[in-house]
A and B are shown apart, each in its own frame.
Chain A
Amino acid sequence: AAGVIQSPRHLIKEKRETATLKCYPIPRHDTVYWYQQGPGQDPQFLISFYEKMQSDKGSIPDRFSAQQFSDYHSELNMSSLELGDSALYFCASGETGNSYEQYFGPGTRLTVT
Chain B
Amino acid sequence: AQSVTQPDIHITVSEGASLELRCNYSYGATPYLFWYVQSPGQGLQLLLKYFSGDTLVQGIKGFEAEFKRSQSSFNLRKPSVHWSDAAEYFCAVGAGNTDKLIFGTGTRLQVFP
B36 within 8 A of A: yes
In the complex, chain B residues 11-68 whose Cβ is within 8 Å of any chain A Cβ: 32, 34, 36, 41-46, 49, 51
The prevalent SS among residues of A at the interface is strand
Closest-CB distance, A86 to chain B (whole angstroms): 14
B98 within 8 A of A: yes
Q: How large is the interface on A (under 10, 10 to 19, 20 to 34, 35 or more residues)?
A: 20 to 34
The reply to whether B42 and A55 contact each other, CB–CB distance below 8 Å, is no
- Which residue of the partner chain, among B36, B51, B99, B104, contacts A104 with CB atoms under 8 Å? B36
The reply to whether B99 and A100 contact each other, CB–CB distance below 8 Å, is yes
Residue of B nearest to A43 (CB): B103
Residues of chain A within 8 A of B98, CB atoms compared: 55-56
In the complex, chain A residues 70-110 whose Cβ is within 8 Å of any chain B Cβ: 90, 92, 94, 99-107, 109
A24 within 8 A of B: no
The reply to whether A99 and B100 contact each other, CB–CB distance below 8 Å, is no
Residues of chain A within 8 A of B104, CB atoms compared: 42
The reply to whether B101 and A102 contact each other, CB–CB distance below 8 Å, is yes
Closest-CB distance, B53 to chain A (whole angstroms): 14
Closest-CB distance, B113 to chain A (whole angstroms): 26
Most buried by B among A43, A50, A92: A43
Q: A69 CA to B68 CA in the complex, in Å?
A: 41
The reply to whether B42 and A45 contact each other, CB–CB distance below 8 Å, is no
Closest-CB distance, A38 to chain B (whole angstroms): 12
In the complex with contacts A99-B94, A100-B34, A101-B49, A45-B43 CB distance below 8 A:
no
